[in-house]
Structure 1
Amino acid sequence: MQTTLNLKHQENPVNPTFANHETFHPRFGWLKKGFDAAKKNPGVFLQDDAPVRLGVGKNMVRAIRYWCSAFKLIDKSNSPTAFGEKLLGNNGWDAYLEDPASLWLLHWNLLKPTCEAAAWYYTFNVFRDLDFTKEDILAGLQDYIKSFDKKIADSSFIKDISCILRMYATQDFSRDNSPIEDSIDCPFNELGLIRHFGKSYQFKIGAKANLPASMIVATCLEYASWANQDSNTITIRKLLYDEGSPGMVFKLTESVLFGAIEKVAKEFNAIILEDTAGLIQLSLPENPEILAEEILDRYYLREQS
């Protein structure tokens, strides 16, 4: 979206940093609390009385700062970003994150370039197994980091993996009655992206009841604005399977993506599917990120009315 980042010349999809969350996943209310505090005073996170101002422990202050930055709600100087204002500002789309669609938008924003949560980027965009264990992701991360010519301790990987699973995994009580530690305190469980049973996990592929078509199409357009900037079309396959695509980030199927595009096309004439010799592509307007923002503006306006 135009309100997020100018990604036209973005070269680095991910910054290979790990375990900056102080072992805390984002909890209910943290992002709004951190954003509002930074808006009043960008230096709040570095002040001695920050724990008192934010009502949390010292390590949690650092975690809130990290998550607000990782979700691109605040910038490197801790000032609110345009995206942060658009979503959580006084007249924002969803200032108190009451709509699950906003969690999907934040999930997308966490993983888009430049992603400051490398283990998250790997798990959703690079790792391709549907059924997996913690050990599978660890082995994958150990191999993945080699491409960055950087040495990361396994303990950092393990902290990130544990945080990812607490953040996203929902319990399958029909198969396992043991609770997931701390997971009840994380809003992103509501997305239902990962199922958990015993020592195994599974990505939920396909339709998500609380993922609106508008969110899918808006992120497709934003993705195309940097991934396909030299073309006026983008293939459905690219939108589904390429690293960093909505299909990977949201774990979509072809039928779900088609359904979303067809639904939004009824509202926006600029959304057009083309079939060229059996190759189905989404036609792109001159500035797809602007149309993406218009789609979200209309979605939130409709939801609030």
Structure 2
Amino acid sequence: MSSDRQVNRFSGHESFICRYGWLPKVYRAVKNDASLLRNDERATQALGIGRNMVKSMQFWGEASGVLRSANERGHEPGPVGKLLFGGRSPWDSHLESLESLWLIHWYLVSKGGLAAWSEVFGEGNLIRFEKKQLVAALAQRGEGAARPLAMSTLEQHASIFIQSYYQEERGTDDTLWCPLQDLGLMKAIKSESGSTVYNTEAKAPVGLTCRIFGIALTDFIANSENGQSIEFQRLLKSPGSPGLVFRLDEAQLRIFVDKLVELNPTAIRFVDTADTQNVIIDLEKIDQQYRLQLEEVAHA
């Protein structure tokens, strides 16, 4: 994560989850008019929604890497936006595939600087938790903030995080549907006391492809201390690792690593000795499809 990014953002989403259709819509709007989001009146008219919702759409566009600030010019397509929606051969113009959602999930956790995302998926501090436990953890994260955080801000941020990944019942109301819910990363059960416990334990990652795992692996290793090799257990459990962010168990992680080695034999090696297991990557030789996101982020 670049040093100038905020790493503990608790607000900005204006109490709205990232709704279905928002990211492709805001990408195309900014592609046609870079300064659109700098003018509230034009933005509300062009996007057909209210001012607060426009601010939320901008927030999620930036946090997901679909957009990025271009200073006085307004906004421009971000690395994820270019990959999914841009160019002559966009991956997923209408954001319909689970593969695309896994990429957005990775970016939100690793680059978005969102406090709840970091607490749960980035650092793995909470695996099974009640909402009040998440709020307490967020309060602790916010203790060093320049201004004291209101409890309402923490409660709202926790609610938005949970609603982003879990919906009790999928009805006809699209306002409660965030595409990330389709990843199945969060389940809910009732405790003996009747409270709701949210579970993000490791499970088979439906729709996670070798391509997205490769992007995450390349990004993670490139930003590690060594920059070219890493212990397998760190890939599994270290803060910000693909294993932790994607909620993979050891067997699932090994399957993805082995597949990447098979696809990129000259660029990736898995060294298994009596003492240690390491993944070694040559960033100069890695297939460029795994470097697209990294190269764009480096200039963000």
2:50 — aligned with what?
57
Distance across 2 between alignment mates of 1:216 and 1:63: 28
Query: 2:32 is matched by which residue type in structure 1?
Result: K
The SS at the match of 1:238 is helix
Cross-structure match for 1:3: none
Equivalents in 2 of 1:46, 1:60: separation in Å?
14
Segment drifting more, 140-149 vs 99-108 = 140-149
Q: Name the CA shift for 1:84/1:182 in 2 (closer, same or farther; >3 Å).
A: closer
Mapping of 1:276-287 within 5 angstroms? 276-287=273-284
Partner of 2:248: 252
Aligned to 1:294: 289
Distance change in 2, residues 1:260/1:223 (3 Å): same
Alpha-carbon displacement from aligned partner over 1:2-60 (angstroms, at most 9, x marks no partner): xxxxx6xx346743221210111111110011011111112212321322211222211
Contact 2:124 2:239 in 1 (8 A): no
| 1:261 equivalent in structure 2 | 257
Give % identity: 27
SS at match of 2:277: strand
Aligned mates of 1:128, 1:285 — CA distance in 2: 31
Shift of 1:143: 1.3
**Equivalent in 28, 34, 44 of residue 36 of structure 1:** 28
Runs (5+) with no aligned partner, structure 1: 1-6, 172-176, 298-305
Please say if 1:240 is aligned against 2:228.
no
Unmatched 5+ stretches in structure 2: 191-195, 293-300
Structure 1 residues 134 and 247: CA distance shift in structure 2, 3 A: same
Aligned match of 2:12: 20
Q: Which one-letter code corresponds to 2:276 in the other structure?
A: L
**Other-structure match for 1:174:** none
**In structure 2, what is the Cα distance between the partners aligned to 1:217 and 1:256?**
14
Of the structure 1 ranges 91-100 and 134-143, higher mean CA displacement relative to structure 2 is found in 91-100
| Distance change (3 Å), C-alpha of 1:149 and 1:127 | farther
- 1:145-189 Cα deviation digits (max 9, x unpaired): 235565222211111111111110154xxxxx898x967521110
Task: Give the stretch that moved more between structures: 193-202 or 32-41.
Answer: 193-202
Change (3 A) 1:76 1:35: same
Aligned to 2:193: none
| 1:119 and 1:161 in contact (8 A); partners too | yes
How many residues are treated as equivalent by the alignment? Answer: 280
Partner of 2:85: 88
CA contact 1:219–1:292 (8 Å) conserved in 2: no
Which residue in the other structure is 2:103 paired with? Answer: 105
Q: Contact 2:10–2:157 (CA<8 Å) still a contact in 1?
A: yes
Are 1:75 and 2:72 counterparts? no
Measure how far apart 1:111 and its partner are: 1.7
Q: Deviations over 1:233-254 (max 9, x none)?
A: 1111111111111112111111
- Would you say 1:124 and 2:116 are equivalent positions? no
TM-score (norm 1): 0.83
Change (3 A) 1:138 1:127: farther
**What secondary structure sits across from 1:211 in the alignment?**
coil
Separation in structure 1 between the aligned mates of residue 119 and residue 5 of structure 2, nearest angstrom: 11
The 2-side partners of 1:17 and 1:130 are apart by: 20
- Paired residue for 1:165? 162
Q: Which residue of 2 aligns with 1:140?
A: 137
The residue type equivalent to 1:33 in the other structure is K
Structure 1 distance, partners of 2:216, 2:145, is: 27
CA RMSD across the alignment:
2.6
